[in-house]
Amino acid sequence: MSSFAENVGKQLGLVVQNFGKALRDAFHSADIVDLKINGTDVSALDGGNATANATDAALSGKKIPATPEGLAVAYVGLVIMALVPIYFGSWRSVKFQKHSKTLPKDQQPEKMSSKDAMMFPVIASCALFGLYLLFHFFGKEYVNFVLTAYFFVLGILSLTSFFTCVLILTYCKVWVSSVGRETGELTAFPSCSPFVGMIPLVPAEPVYKFSFNSKKGTETTSYFDLEFGFKEILAFLISAACGVWYMLQKHWVANNLFGLAFSLNAIELLTLNKVLTGVTLLGGLFFYDIFWVFGSNVMVFVAKSFDAPIKLIFPQDLLENGFAAKNFAMLGLGDIVIPGIFVALMLRFDTHLQEKLKRRTNWYFNATFLAYFLGLVATIVVMHVFKHAQPALLYLVPACLGIPLLLALVKGDLREMFAYEDHPVDPAEIAAAKQSKKTE
């Protein structure tokens, strides 16, 4: 018995010792420059929200510098890939919010409250440090196996949604309406794709339904309800092929397909609801990004160890090596999604002003979208000049918050902006909630 207790004590001692070592390593040095991600050396990295230059370590022990032309192509490619999901995701969020308002309250999407926004940097910090400890205590191959499986499934679902929209746009000229699904009639929509004239008329597609319900007496509870047709099946097959391609080769094109799909869906579906919530969220993550990039080595270590499509990458040697390029510039998805959901909120605010005040211009969306572009360019310039990891939110947050707020102050819309809500709460519900608390 004493032997067993002694062994347990030794094991606990080792755990404590390793935990202490992990803490010392985390905050000992934050200026590590030479890293590897997916077999790639990275010269200047912003952790999970990264803007970096990378070169394949298999070529040599030293980082091969990119040509000025290659750098220009890579940075322009990254900027374009960052702007595309923000622009289209913002417009899709307008349609999504309008649709969600027609749903029953129990089916409406979750809304982020100000309390959630305040807690988000804390939760993100705990998750980041938790991953750091996991990579420290367990082998990277085991942790990455679980993460890869998770992102493989999540990526296929995101890509299926993305490719379904592409197919709908392609076939929208002859796609059947909801009535036509049953009657077999075709409905001609306005042409919205440059390829639509090349596609012949197609018959009405059959609709399949997969649902999971439970029935107790006369009451039926629905847990899962999915309708799909040929376009969804085709989109799923294409997405699965991309997923297998990424799993086998980790090719940068497959990585970017996953990253763009993640960003587009996140910007469309995440709901800030109020401008104050967005200001709170971006302000908290502003300090989160600075601390974990400049104040510790945790984000850098996790990004080095994390093997998943959480970034967009573009080759700097594309002109020399084509699709077999190995020298990458990189931008983390957090630097796209976090400012992107605020840009989308500004577009929905513009839509609100158009409905209420009959305005015709998307002033705040255009200004915030331009602010994001300028902040991203500033991040790349500073990173390139100083050759050091830069927390992109350090530049993106002041730009994306400062410019629309200043514009609202000039135009006299500041009060209206902070009063706006995507889903206004009924005062009667607030009163009922307060009354229920008093009775408890």
Residues serving a catalytic function are 289, 335
55-63: list long-range contacts, CB under 8 Å, 24+ apart: 55/326, 55/327, 55/328, 56/326, 56/327, 58/326, 59/326, 63/34
Type of residue at 410: V
Dihedral of alpha carbons 386, 389, 391, 396, sign: positive
End-to-end CA distance of the chain: 51
> For residues 45 and 297, what is the distance between their CA atoms, to the nearest angstrom?
11
Backbone conformation region of residue 307, classed left if phi is above 0, alpha if psi is from -120 to 50, else beta:
beta
| Token reading at 72 | 């220009």
Name the pairing type of β-strands 328-332 and 311-315: antiparallel
Distance CA 396, CA 403 (A): 11
By C-alpha distance, which of 270, 379, 393 is closest to 44?
379
Residue 37's φ and ψ, nearest 5 degrees, are: -130, 120
CA 271 centroid distance within chain = 13
Task: Please tell me the total number of residues recorded for the chain in this structure.
Answer: 440
- Both tokens of 342, joined, read 């605020």
* Helices 393-411, 334-357: crossing angle, 10 deg rounding: 10
